Amino acid sequence: MEAAQGQRLEQPDAASPGGFFALRSTPVPGGAHRPLARLYAGETAPLTVRIDAVATALRTPERRVAASVAHLGLAARLWSTALGPAAISGGFPDLSPGVLHWDPERPAPDDLWHEPVATLPGTADRIREVVQFGHLVPLAEAIRQDGHLAPRLLWGNAGSALAGALRELVAWARTHHRPDVAQRARALVAELFDHPDLRTTGSPHTPAFRRRSCCLYYRCPGGGLCGDCVLDRKPGPAAESAPW
């Protein structure tokens, strides 16, 4: 699939989901992409840039709120770029931190590109190895250094992002008459949730997922509750110090 700028996007087939599921296989001209491995190794300046940008966009003075929302967005990208092709074609590109490049100043799909080195089997074990262990664990450590967020909240973000990717894939499969894709996506996500770090983040482990923590978006000026939020209504001042 050709992007407007002439750069190739990795897509499982011509009608596959775009947006968070799309992944470039060539860099964006003029981009400031760098391997995510460098972020996980301690080069956190790009993460600071992303959190600053999110804080400005949301008009929030609370660093932890911006950090949580930034984390949720990147977690959604990471899950989606693996789960989408795995459900549609049975394989997904190698997204190892050393070959997956990120530019914190660009929105999806221009924020990520990968060096095409291999296609991996689209199994839950491989997705867990590459995304959960290879990215989400070190990403959470980097985020916590900046935003001082509780592990429970960050894993809740990861669970919410995974369920959100499933929700989008099931909707796409229904529109494109691909029940096989929906079936594979559901099976993969059920396996991925069957891990101690994700199992208790919310339930059910389907598109109807409701998380057991809060991403803190409600604390932004004019912010409300997300569709899968643990909360039934926006908390009052007494909840300001809650770790969620």
Residue extents of the structural domains in the chain: 9-239
pLDDT of res. 90: 96
Helix/strand/coil for 11: coil
pLDDT of res. 183: 98
As to burial, measured by CB atoms within 10 angstroms (0-12 exposed, 13-18 middle, 19+ buried), residue 62 is: middle
Distances (CA, A) of 30 to 5, 27, 106: 12, 9, 11
Helix/strand/coil for 23: strand
* Mean pLDDT of the 174-194 span: 97
Q: In this prediction, what percent of the chain has a pLDDT beyond 90?
A: 78
CA 142 remoteness from chain centre: 15
Distances (CA, A) of 32 to 77, 85, 105, 173: 18, 26, 8, 34
pLDDT at 9 exceeding the cut of 80: no
Name the β-bridge partners of 211: 202
Q: Model confidence at 108, in pLDDT bands (50, 70, 90)?
A: confident
Q: Which of 165, 163, 158 is nearest to 138 (CA)?
A: 158
Q: Model confidence at 220, in pLDDT bands (50, 70, 90)?
A: very high
pLDDT of res. 15: 53
pLDDT at 121 exceeding the cut of 90: yes
Helix/strand/coil for 8: strand
Helix/strand/coil for 213: coil
Q: Which of 52, 63, 122 is nearest to 90 (CA)?
A: 122
pLDDT of res. 86: 97
pLDDT in tens, 63-95: 999 999 999 999 999 999 999 999 999 999 999
Question: 79 Cβ partners below 8 Å, 6+ apart?
Answer: 131, 158, 161, 162, 165
pLDDT of res. 206: 96
Comparing 9-13, 55-59, 112-116, 213-217, the range with the smallest average pLDDT is 9-13
pLDDT at 6 exceeding the cut of 70: no
Q: Model confidence at 5, in pLDDT bands (50, 70, 90)?
A: very low
Q: Which of 137, 188, 130 is nearest to 158 (CA)?
A: 137
pLDDT in tens, 146-178: 878 999 999 999 999 999 999 999 999 999 999
pLDDT of res. 244: 53
